[in-house]
Amino acid sequence: MDPHVGILEDWGLKADVAGLEAFSKTCVEAFADVACVVKPQVAFYEQFGSAGLTVLERSIAELRKAGVLVIADAKRGDIGSTMAGYARAWLDPESPLCSDAVTVSPWLGFDSLRPVIDLGEQHGRGVIVLAATSNPEARGLQRSYFDGTDTNLAQYIVDRVAAENSQHPGAGNLGVVVGATLAEPPRLDEVGGMVLMPGVGAQGGTMDDVRRIAGGDQTASLVSPNVSRGVLRAGPVVADLRNAVAEQAATLRL
């Protein structure tokens, strides 16, 4: 759910709170019966202040009530009590923004994520860590080597997530974001948790890329390719959006 100005206009909606609410209601109605996971882009709601966040709160609650898993794409990152506040906002059952998982940024140090990791584990919610993103600006940082080693920062983040997940049986509640368009992705064979993989479709990534980056079948079973524009451009008719979800699900099946 990425209600940027362009998609609102394409749907015949104004870029205001009323347009945001109409967009979100349509998405909830369309996706509740057919999607297993929905990822609202938090920034597009925050830009409208408290009214936009109210729309997001309702959307999250309605999707979760319908049995859809919600990943809040908030990309939060901070330290200490501030990070603990972000953790409570997105993962505490008492919060009106409570989601099934939240995306976080590790670039203040992986251990700065401890408050959100601990709260996620306490409440059985996911924490999805930015590791190797597909935006071109990221390469210089994420491909840099970590602290005099031969491990780049993206791989270091994946390895830290894998270490956290290895402490629990089965798939862990930590995941990573790894773009589908990367020529030199980190190794994911031991990640042990969800791999959220944006970049398929409009950004140029293919399912062959997804399989290449995932590596073996065990990791492939944990990959969730992310598609936004390929679905939303079918709107605003609910039936058309549902058909687009079904088509994308068939295309993205690993």
- pLDDT tens string, the chain, 254 residues long: the values are 999 999 999 999 999 999 999 999 999 999 998 999 999 999 999 999 999 999 999 999 999 999 999 999 999 999 999 999 999 999 999 999 999 999 999 999 999 999 999 999 999 999 999 999 988 898 888 889 988 889 999 999 999 999 999 998 888 999 999 999 999 999 999 999 999 999 887 677 888 888 899 887 778 889 999 888 889 999 999 999 999 999 988 888 76
Query: Which of 167, 172, 219 is CA-nearest to residue 197?
Result: 219
| Residues acting as catalytic residues | 75
| Element at 212 (helix H, strand E) | helix 207-214
- All domains of the chain in start order, with CATH: 1-72+228-247 (no CATH), 77-227 (3.20.20.70)
CA angle 169, 174, 179 (to 5 degrees): 125
Q: What is the pTM of this model?
A: 0.95
Strands, DSSP E only, in the chain? 37-38, 69-76, 101-104, 126-132, 174-178, 195-197, 223-225
Q: How far apart are CA 251 and CA 248, in angstroms?
A: 5
